[in-house]
């Protein structure tokens, strides 16, 4: 029988990403809904790690399975690293990313080259059945573009230009983005933590 991991999100895309990364291990990855856990969680932490832990701990209260959660955001250096942990709420949760992206481009008017530096950050938290906890974090560095480019991805991807590729993350295929993204890298670090937990507990 497969062991279960519940990913504390309603986002099927995130669950798919982690399924792909963990596919060579014996785990079934479920959303909260699929696991029959429907609770509202307030993300009021000050750091990505705090928010990821808040989500994972809330769900872990309802299950003995492994629970994972992530929190991510965009840090624009010229904007004092905002919107940061408030990325989803920047200018209002329901405001379109066309408008949010245009506002970030506007705030960077007159800035060139490295003055446009930014990064995506992702932290992932896991709560294991013995209630031990671990977090991982990864980033991808880039520059804020001068206009939106690309149709893939979501959120701030169309304005996040990665010089190594000469493309925005919205111009990468999902597979290419997973290889280099903050979330893909943090998930692969979490896979290592999962393997360590397994080797310590499943003898
Ligand atoms: P959360 O981690 O689901 O709370 O979302 C954080 C927010 O950060 C998202 O709603 C996006 O606005 C932004 N964000 C995080 N990762 C990405 C990404 O890979 N591309 C574009 N925007 C992102």
The tens digit of pLDDT for each residue in 147-179 reads 999 999 899 999 999 999 999 999 999 889 999
Low-confidence ranges of the chain (pLDDT < 50): none
Q: Is 71 among the catalytic positions?
A: yes
**What is the whole-number distance in angstroms between the Cα of residue 200 and the centre of ligand 1?**
33
* Structural contact between residues 79 and 111, judged by C-beta atoms closer than 8 angstroms: no
For residue 94 the two structure tokens come to 């329901």
The pLDDT, as a whole number, for residue 89 is 95
Q: Whose CA is nearest to atom 10 of ligand 1?
A: 88
Sign of CA dihedral 163, 116, 145, 90: positive
* Structural contact between residues 176 and 193, judged by C-beta atoms closer than 8 angstroms: no
Q: Whose CA is nearest to atom 18 of ligand 1?
A: 157
Pocket-forming residues, ligand 1, beta carbon under 6 Å:
70-74, 87-88, 120, 153-157, 169, 181
| Strand ranges (E), the chain | 3-7, 27-31, 66-76, 82-83, 117-127, 133-144, 160-162, 167-168
* Structural contact between residues 123 and 135, judged by C-beta atoms closer than 8 angstroms: yes
Give domain 3-201's CATH architecture. Answer: Alpha-Beta Complex (3.90)
For residue 115 the two structure tokens come to 């003055």
**What is the whole-number distance in angstroms between the Cα of residue 198 and the centre of ligand 1?**
30
Task: Tell which atom from ligand 1 comes closest to the C-alpha of 97.
Answer: 12
**What is the whole-number distance in angstroms between the Cα of residue 120 and the centre of ligand 1?**
8
CA of 54: how far to CAs of 7, 63, 72, 125, in Å? 13, 15, 14, 9
107-143: b (≥16 Cβ within 10 Å) or e: ebeeeeeeebebbbbbbbbbbbeeeeebbbbbebebb
Measure the CA–CA gap between 71 and 113, rounded to whole angstroms: 28
CA of 182: how far to CAs of 26, 91, 110, in Å? 24, 23, 28
Instruction: Record the pTM.
Output: 0.94
- Pick the closest to residue 16 from 43, 34, 2 (CA basis): 34
Task: Tell which atom from ligand 1 comes closest to the C-alpha of 43.
Answer: 4
The pLDDT, as a whole number, for residue 203 is 56
**What is the whole-number distance in angstroms between the Cα of residue 155 and the centre of ligand 1?**
6
């Amino acid at each position: 029988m497969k062991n279960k991991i519940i990913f504390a999100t309603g986002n099927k895309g995130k669950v798919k990403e982690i399924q792909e990364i963990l596919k060579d291990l014996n785990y079934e990855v479920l959303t909260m809904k699929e696991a029959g856990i429907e609770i509202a969680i307030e993300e009021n932490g000050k750091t990505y790690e705090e928010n990821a832990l808040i989500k994972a701990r809330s769900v872990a209260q309802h299950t003995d399975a492994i629970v994972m959660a992530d929190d991510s955001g965009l840090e624009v250096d010229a904007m004092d690293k905002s919107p940061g942990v408030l990325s989803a709420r920047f200018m209002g949760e329901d405001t379109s990313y066309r408008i949010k992206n245009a506002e970030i481009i506007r705030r960077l008017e007159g800035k060139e080259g490295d003055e446009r530096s930014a990064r995506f950050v992702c932290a992932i938290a896991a709560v294991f059945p013995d209630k031990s906890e671990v977090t991982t974090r990864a980033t991808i560095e880039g520059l804020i573009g001068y206009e939106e480019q690309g149709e893939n991805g979501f959120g701030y991807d169309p304005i996040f230009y990665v010089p190594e590729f000469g493309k925005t993350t919205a111009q990468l295929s999902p597979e290419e983005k997973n290889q280099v993204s903050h979330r893909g890298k943090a998930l692969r670090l979490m896979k290592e933590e999962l393997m360590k937990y397994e080797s310590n507990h499943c003898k």
